[in-house]
Amino acid sequence: MTLPTQLVLRVLLAEPTKEMYGLQICAAAGLPSGTIHPILARLEGLGWLESRWEDASPHEEGRPRRRYYFWSKDGAEQARLALAQAHTSVSTIGLRAKPAGGLA
Partner 1 sequence: MTSTAVRYRPGELAPSIAREVACELADALDRNNRALVEDLSRAWELADALASTNLRRVNTIQLYRARKLVRLLNHACPHTLINNLGPTRYPALIRLISPLLAAGIREDILVSDLSHVRRLARALARANDSANESGQPRARRIAPSAAALLVAAIRLLPAADRARYTEEFRSELWDLMQDGAGSARQVRYAFRQLSRAFLTSFELRFPRRRGAAP
Residue whose CB is less far from partner 1, 19 or 44: 44
11 is a contact residue toward partner 1 (CB under 8 A): no
48 is a contact residue toward partner 1 (CB under 8 A): yes
Considering CB under 8 A, how many residues would be counted as binding partner 1? 33
Q: Which of residues 85-104 bind partner 1 (CB under 8 A)?
A: 101-104
CB atoms within 10 A of CB 5: 21
Q: What are the residues whose beta carbons fall under 8 Å from the beta carbon of 14, sequence distance 6 or more?
A: 28
Q: What SS3 string covers the chain?
A: CCHHHHHHHHHHHHCCCCCEEHHHHHHHHCCCCCCCHHHHHHHHHHCCEEEEECCCCHHHHCCCCCEEEEECCCHHHHHHHHHHHHHHHHHHHCCCCCCCCCCC
As measured in angstroms, the least distance from the Cβ of 62 to partner 1 is 10
80 is a contact residue toward partner 1 (CB under 8 A): no
Which of 55, 64, 91, 92 binds partner 1 (CB under 8 A)? It is 64
Chain residues that interact with partner 1, rule: CB under 8 A: 1, 5, 9, 21-23, 32-35, 37-39, 41-48, 53, 63-67, 79, 82, 101-104
